[in-house]
Chain A
Amino acid sequence: MNRSLRPLLATVVIFLIAYAAAVFQFPGLLSTRVLGNFLTDNAFLGIAAVGMTFVIISGGIDLSVGAVIGFTGVLVAVLITWLGWHPLAAFAAAFVVAAAFGAAMGLVIHYLEVPPFIVTLAGMFLARGGASVITQDSVPIDHPFYSAISSLYWRLPGGGRLSFVGLLMVAVFVVGAIVAHRTKFGSYVYALGGNATSASLMGVPVARTTVQIYTLSSVLACLAGIVFSLYTSAGYPLAAVGVELDAIGAVVIGGTLLTGGYGFVFGTFVGVMLLGLVQTYIIFDGTLSSWWTKIVIGFLLFLFIVLQRLVFAASARGDRVAEKA
């Protein structure tokens, strides 16, 4: 029906073909164990990518995501291990800090009319630097609550484990999809990405929405940071370097237009799974090395950017013809 569905469809088809091919080569890939690990291993990336999806649909970009993940890990670790806070209190503190951080970036982007990439770049420096100022080293987290959550899982038929963090990511995707497609806020996000001038003429509260979008992205990055610290049981200032690029990759591969206005939260899920599949395949293969992940992501990114360019340029040309005819 919609042209915006075409890239998403392409992603799903590519994922299914790739998965089928991978399974054909390594039948072991088709098991709930692998699928469970898929979710667990990519949980933090997936959660961050949901926030990135909103940012990109609105026509922006958030380069601070990886740094916020690292900062959150350090903050939480320091609060728990050094200051003896309960993890839940530490989480709450981290969310407040991240929300303020994202809101500040949104305010600067809207009121100073600065390109988001440079504002969030400053945000990335700030968060990464801030984390390093707190500590240079990895701070271990050893708290019963932590080990309880990180070992929490549901056994799936076939021996797979659906971990708490994996489930959390799925929940974030579901809620994210509902917010994007079923709330006024969601429609404002798409409106901003479609045409900011039209949006403001149609009554979209542009300033408020922009601030909310970047706040959401930072809060989700913070949640991703918490998940990452659950995964590693530590906080490290240089954790998750470059995750923003993986997140952008997942979002674009998932069919979201990098220039904004079109996209699906579900698409991002497929994008994350596709990236996860590439990694898992490389591990299964054993002879391929990890750098192939980056090359494949880069190639897919290129493929989708050009695909989108063609799909949208073609229909844009169609529109122009219609205008002149």
Chain B
Amino acid sequence: MMRIPLARLVNTQTIALVGVLLLNWILFPGFFKIEWQDGRLFGSLIDVLNRGAPVAILAIGMTAVIATKGVDLSVGAVMAMAGAVAATLVVGGYPGWVAVAGALTVGLLCGLWNGALVALLDIQPIIATLVLMVAGRGIAQLITEGSIVTFSDPTLVFIGTGSFLGLPMPVVIALALMILVTLAVRKTAIGLFIEAVGVNRSAATLAGIRSRLLLIAVYAVSGLCAAIAGIIVAGDIRGADANNAGLWLELDAILAAVIGGTSLLGGRFSIVMSVVGALIIQAMNTGILVSGYPPEFNLVVKAGMITLILMIQSPFAGRLLTWFGRNRRKGA
């Protein structure tokens, strides 16, 4: 269906992922062991995929937003809201699919809200989405009335912990979403329009692209992705924890997109590479855990990673490179 030449899969991101996985393997020799049990796969590798799914899903929406030269800081809070809505609905006696639909609607509305602030009121994305980042968690707590709402609704639990064709549901959903969104942007003109708006909004508008509508749509998709991730996280723990669900995950999602090669200045993006980025982050998390370091050590590694990527991406590094290049040519 999709022609992806093998050569295109060999790049910095996949090499980094393989490197991190190998490092895990050195630290923990059983890392690549995968077992078939009770009709599903088990193993550390599967665990990385499963744990990494929520961030991967967030990264899918975040990538599109960043490609338009924006950013969505509210996704963590939207996750909490979506989880709270789903949990409250099933506890209130509604069937699971209503809960899912309700949670998705909340995510969509949040995305539309962000999109409207950015596209219609022309507020800077980082500022516009800060509003929901701050208020969203409060709203989630309001919905759950401050407690962790636990449930045992089979639909939600299945979404969080079930399996399909041997793979955990979160992985299946993330994979499906990745393929769906990739097709949606690459088999239509939307991907091209997103990149055009991110590169030069004025020129894109003059070429006839409805950039406002596009921006709203992109933030709406990000909201939807956040809602899906929120449902998964809630289903996983069989409860909605408004305080901690999705906490700081917006930062992981941004990091995943940036690792995936999307520039914070907008333009070129790859959904697949962002998902790879999310997996790199999760593989590092797992590696740090199995090697016995405190999980917070992760943060230090992440900081180092951000700094490294920033240095590589910065205009300063670009100038340095051209300077070196010129000097070498002069020397030759």
A interface residues (Cβ-Cβ under 8 A, vs B):
61, 108, 111-115, 117-119, 121-126, 128-133, 136, 237, 245, 248-249, 258-259, 289-299, 301-302, 305-306, 309
> A277 → chain B, closest Cβ, in Å?
16
Across-interface contacts of B29 in A (CB, < 8 A):
none
A123 vs B251: C-alpha distance when bound (angstroms): 12
B142 at interface, CB cutoff 8 A: yes
When each residue 304-332 of chain B gets 1 if its CB lies under 8 Å from chain A and 0 otherwise, what string results? 10110011011111000000000000000
Given A133, A136, A291, which contacts B138 in the complex, CB threshold below 8 Å? A291
Among B227-282, those with CB < 8 Å from A are 242, 251, 254, 258, 264
B interface residues (Cβ-Cβ under 8 A, vs A):
71, 121-124, 126-128, 130-142, 145-146, 242, 251, 254, 258, 264, 294, 296-304, 306-307, 310-311, 313-317
A111 vs B140: C-alpha distance when bound (angstroms): 40
Residue in A closest to B134 when the chains form the complex, CB atoms? A298
Residue in A closest to B307 when the chains form the complex, CB atoms? A122
Across-interface contacts of A129 in B (CB, < 8 A):
296-303
Across-interface contacts of A306 in B (CB, < 8 A):
121
* 28 contacting pairs across A/B (C-beta < 8 A): A111-B316, A112-B316, A113-B314, A117-B126, A118-B258, A122-B302, A122-B303, A122-B310, A125-B300, A125-B303, A128-B299, A129-B298, A129-B302, A129-B303, A131-B296, A132-B297, A133-B294, A133-B296, A248-B130, A258-B127, A289-B141, A289-B145, A290-B141, A294-B138, A295-B139, A302-B131, A302-B135, A305-B127
A128 vs B121: C-alpha distance when bound (angstroms): 35
- 19 further A-B pairs in the complex, CB-CB below 8 A; given A113-B314, A294-B138: A113-B316, A114-B310, A114-B313, A114-B314, A118-B264, A118-B310, A121-B254, A122-B307, A125-B306, A128-B299, A133-B297, A133-B300, A245-B130, A245-B134, A291-B146, A292-B138, A297-B138, A298-B132, A298-B135
Across-interface contacts of B146 in A (CB, < 8 A):
289-291
Structural contact, B123 and A305, CB atoms closer than 8 A: yes
Supposing A258-B124, A258-B127, A309-B123 touch, asked if A297 and B296 sit within 8 A by C-beta, the answer is no
Across-interface contacts of B297 in A (CB, < 8 A):
129, 132-133
Across-interface contacts of B139 in A (CB, < 8 A):
291, 295, 298
Structural contact, A259 and B127, CB atoms closer than 8 A: yes
**Residue among B145, B254, B307 with most chain A CB within 10 A:** B307
A295 vs B126: C-alpha distance when bound (angstroms): 18
Structural contact, B294 and A122, CB atoms closer than 8 A: no
Across-interface contacts of B311 in A (CB, < 8 A):
112
Given A61, A123, A298, which contacts B303 in the complex, CB threshold below 8 Å? A123
Across-interface contacts of A305 in B (CB, < 8 A):
123, 127-128, 131
Across-interface contacts of A118 in B (CB, < 8 A):
254, 258, 264, 306, 310
Structural contact, A237 and B296, CB atoms closer than 8 A: yes
Structural contact, B296 and A136, CB atoms closer than 8 A: yes
Across-interface contacts of A309 in B (CB, < 8 A):
121-123
Residue in B closest to A63 when the chains form the complex, CB atoms? B251
Supposing A294-B135, A305-B131 touch, asked if A132 and B296 sit within 8 A by C-beta, the answer is yes
**Residue among B135, B139, B294, B302 with most chain A CB within 10 A:** B135
Structural contact, B302 and A259, CB atoms closer than 8 A: no
Interface SS, A side: helix
Residue in B closest to A130 when the chains form the complex, CB atoms? B300
A295 vs B302: C-alpha distance when bound (angstroms): 30
Structural contact, B135 and A299, CB atoms closer than 8 A: yes
A249 vs B130: C-alpha distance when bound (angstroms): 9
Across-interface contacts of A293 in B (CB, < 8 A):
138
A128 vs B295: C-alpha distance when bound (angstroms): 11
> A120 → chain B, closest Cβ, in Å?
10
Across-interface contacts of B298 in A (CB, < 8 A):
129
> A150 → chain B, closest Cβ, in Å?
27
Structural contact, A115 and B145, CB atoms closer than 8 A: no
Across-interface contacts of A130 in B (CB, < 8 A):
300
> B116 → chain A, closest Cβ, in Å?
11
Across-interface contacts of B133 in A (CB, < 8 A):
245
A176 vs B135: C-alpha distance when bound (angstroms): 29
Across-interface contacts of A299 in B (CB, < 8 A):
135
**Residue among B134, B258, B307, B314 with most chain A CB within 10 A:** B134
Across-interface contacts of B306 in A (CB, < 8 A):
118, 121-122, 125
Structural contact, B135 and A119, CB atoms closer than 8 A: no
Residue in A closest to B302 when the chains form the complex, CB atoms? A125
Structural contact, A291 and B142, CB atoms closer than 8 A: yes
Supposing A125-B300, A132-B297, A309-B121 touch, asked if A108 and B310 sit within 8 A by C-beta, the answer is yes
